[in-house]
Chain A
Amino acid sequence: MTQWTVLYRKEMMEMVRNYKFLWIPIIFILLGVMQPVSSYYMPEILDTFGGLPEGTILEMPTPTGAEVLMKVLSIYGMLGVLILVLSAMGVVSAERQSGVAGMVMIKPVPYSSYILSKWAGLLTITLISLFIGYVASWYYTSLLIETVAFERIFQSGVIYSIWLVFVVTLTLFFSTIMKGNGSVAFVTIFVVFAISTVTSILGKYMKWSPATMTEHTGQVLLSGELNSSFLLAFITTIAILIVILISSIQIFKQKELLE
């Protein structure tokens, strides 16, 4: 067994023991199910709590299944990102702070194995949570509203996961270069927010931005077809990911472990 596998298994074991494998998917399921349920019951909810005058006729257009799922993804884009960043912020920094990173690196472990095992661990929890939550959301949507072709769900889920992978990779990077968990989370969220905002404001010039993944997701969900600029965004996102990972490894090498 390579050292990478040993480290990856340790990441998995840690997430099982501290219940991350339980509560992060549960949060994604809850966030995903809430949207179709609340869209479906909206007239009743308004009726009960709205305090509308007698005789008001509520006529709400029922959203299409694709619209509901798009809302789910936009919730994942805010709360889901927040949860993922907060749960991943200490991935390297906490181990450096406690000194256990030094205990690992004192053995002949390649620096890349350490960082890449962390990355793989984050990817695993992110992808599992997203897919379970998204499928649960799809199930409730088809139950209550209308069925969306699973093919579209799958495609949009894959495209959306690229954006979340980008977010957790960024968290890993900041966790490597900074020490305080709080500042890692703050800076990561700030950067993610900045990228999203700049991308939506300067849409014309930002067709390469990783944040356009969210737009492409919506496109696939609604029309089933990919925008032509997807390939460009995909390639630059992968390139940025590689650069971030390589610099994380290089920076980690220079850090003084065991203080």
Chain B
Amino acid sequence: MELLKASDLVKRFGNTNAVKGINFHIEEGRCVSLLGPNGAGKTTTLKMLSGLLKPTSGSIDFKGEKAKDLRKFIGYLPQYPAFYNWMSGKEFLVFIGQLAKLNRKEAEKRSEELLERVGLTNAKKRKIGGYSGGMKQRLGLAQALIHRPKLLILDEPVSALDPLGRREVLDMMREIKEETTILFSTHVLHDAEEISDDILIMHAGEIAISGSLGSVMEEYRQPILQIEFESQAADWLKSIASYSFVSEVNIQGNKASIVLKDMVNGKQILLKDIVDRKLPIRKFEISQTTLEDLFMKVVKA
């Protein structure tokens, strides 16, 4: 079922169009990742969906109806969550819970539940000012979930965390995914590949690609040849671009990834070339393009 639909969403700041008329929808129960380079308009889009920012034009429908105040359906974790540092973790959650229209008792109960869930039970009486970055992120997740939102929006939930904190938050997201719909933005492609069902790739204020992770990968997947040299072989790599079966060559240091139109003949010829020229190679691998390759292609286009 369609949970949320954005139609022709535009946001203009002064003369710049941060978001240029995007259309997409989110299915209930899915975990959707919003990808894009910095400045693509991800945060602006998320803020508009959360009801914190008014779109310049366009509309957002929630469950098929034009929603007036989306905020009660949505839990939002901003990129840099801020708290009242003089409150304890528990106090903050109860406070936020009451603002989300829970009564005091419910707010207390729900706070305890969530503190347990995000692993902050031991720190619940400590001042938030003394929390670490990872703890603040987890408290942020708890405050977003306090009123059991229909849609959980997370803006770069793991970008600022160390590998351990990242793992914790990702595991929590995987759990939460079972109960509610999640939309999160990230530029860590690996995370998106790991937990999302659907992806949206934004670039320069527009949606470049959208669909389920499987189908997008299927559609854009290309066989590529990855060669790793022991030393630079830029001259040869430049020369092979003239072969008719080579469609793209990307060089990164000693590594190169080559997109071929005709894998069967292409790899034979290239391998023969390498042998003839006695180029020192370490690896010669046939593989598929990854989400990262797709992302790069979209962003550079």
Q: Which residues of A contact B (CB under 8 A)?
A: 1, 3, 6-7, 10, 14, 17-18, 98-100, 102-109, 256-258
Contacts and interface: CB of A to CB of B under 8 A. Distances in A.
The A interface is mostly helix, strand or loop, or mixed, namely helix
A3 B52 contact: no
Contacts of B82: 98-100, 102-103
B86 A103 contact: no
B101 A3 contact: yes
Contacts of A99: 78, 80-82
A14 B95 CA distance: 12
27 contacts: A1-B98, A1-B104, A3-B98, A3-B99, A3-B101, A6-B98, A6-B99, A10-B84, A10-B95, A18-B86, A98-B82, A99-B80, A100-B82, A100-B83, A103-B78, A103-B81, A106-B71, A106-B74, A107-B96, A107-B147, A108-B72, A108-B100, A109-B71, A109-B99, A258-B47, A258-B52, A258-B78
Nearest to A103: B82
A106 B98 contact: no
Nearest to A3: B99
A3 B101 CA distance: 7
Interface residues of B, number: 27
Contacts of A256: 53
Contacts of B50: 106
A212 B228 CA distance: 84
Interface in B67-83: 69, 71-72, 74, 76, 78, 80-83
Contact of B99 (A18, A100, A104, A258): A104
B257 interface: no
B103 interface: yes
Contacts of B103: 1
Contacts of B52: 102, 105-106, 257-258
A258 B82 CA distance: 9
B78 A7 contact: no
B143 interface: yes
A102 B83 CA distance: 10
Contacts of A100: 82-84
Nearest to A101: B82
Contact of B86 (A1, A14, A109): A14
